[in-house]
Amino acid sequence: MQHLVETQQFDRAALKRLFELASSLEGKREESLKGKILASLFYAPSTRTRLSFESSMMRLGGNVISMENASESSSATKGESIEDTIRIVDDYADVIVLRHTEVGTAARAAAVSRVPIINAGDGVGQHPTQSFLDLYTIEREIGRTDDFHIAFVGNLAYYRSARSLAYLLGKYKNVKMTFVSGPELGMKDDVKEYLKEKNVDFTETEDLEGTMQIADVVYQTRMAEEWIPKGTDFEKLRQKYTITRPMTDHMKDGAILIHPLPRAGEISPDVDDSPHAVYFKQAAYGVLVRMALLKLFFGKA
């Protein structure tokens, strides 16, 4: 694998290897990437993805150079194209982690880069490393990646992490999906067509409470108003799909509630100490999965 642009690039065997490696790295500090440099180029805001990649690189003994607000602080403001920027940065670093506002930017960067490009989110496109850590969380917390029912909730049309995970789960057996959303924010046709090709059993509903009582995994999303078409009443939609403590109290034993975070009101704070709430653990698992991914990219696994 030269670049990571979309989740479909990983098959089950590769994910199994990634997850085993991630688990073996828990609590570890190494020097295996000593002398290597990671560049994080973030043209859109981030807390978890950028810092967890940087933390992962440092835990492996590597170094980091970073542009955290590249849309304002880089030479893009002078008109430099992403292709030219990548042609420069690939001389400065051994791997580039890229987040951008526009769909397809990671693929454009990969087309010209001499070092690996890792897509850290491209507009409403994909966020593959998030879906890897989401799936890793599912495996760790419910003990399997086949034979379960996942409910995706809220903003499914414009939330790239949900789109990426749905693509990824198409590779697994007997994963039932319920898309809990309304017509404004429903899962887009490209994902649904892919799932039909893979014979995945999926349904669509607006019944959040009822679905939460039967799902093994509830995947909540942020309303992400920065991606939603202007004029949409996202406050009304946020309220409609907010998860409250009484709702989690009626989840099945062993079922989990995950969310890539950040949240913005769509999970009540009093859910945080529910036994079903694992979203903060999920964010912590991101370091393990990204450490494992970096080791694989550098042939150190």
Residue 130 binds to ligand CP (criterion: CB under 6 A): yes
Question: Which of 263/276 has CB closer to ligand CP?
Answer: 263
99 tagged catalytic: yes
Q: Which of residues 133-192 bind ligand CP (CB under 6 A)?
A: none
Question: Which of 200/293 has CB closer to ligand CP?
Answer: 293
Q: State the catalytic residue, choosing from 3, 7, 49, 290.
A: 49
Residue 262 binds to ligand CP (criterion: CB under 6 A): yes
49 tagged catalytic: yes
Exactly one of 67, 117, 261, 288 binds ligand CP (CB under 6 A); which one? 261
Q: State the catalytic residue, choosing from 3, 7, 36, 48.
A: 48
Quote the least distance from Cβ 56 to ligand CP, whole Å. Answer: 13
Q: Which of residues 47-66 bind ligand CP (CB under 6 A)?
A: 47-49
137 tagged catalytic: no
Stretch that binds ligand CP, among 104-112, 137-145, 258-266, 292-300 (CB under 6 A): 258-266
203 tagged catalytic: no
Distance between CA atoms of 289 and 26, rounded to whole angstroms? 10
Q: State the catalytic residue, choosing from 127, 160, 259, 276.
A: 127
Catalytically annotated residues? 48-49, 78, 99, 127
Residues that bind ligand CP (CB under 6 A): 46-49, 121, 127, 130, 260-262
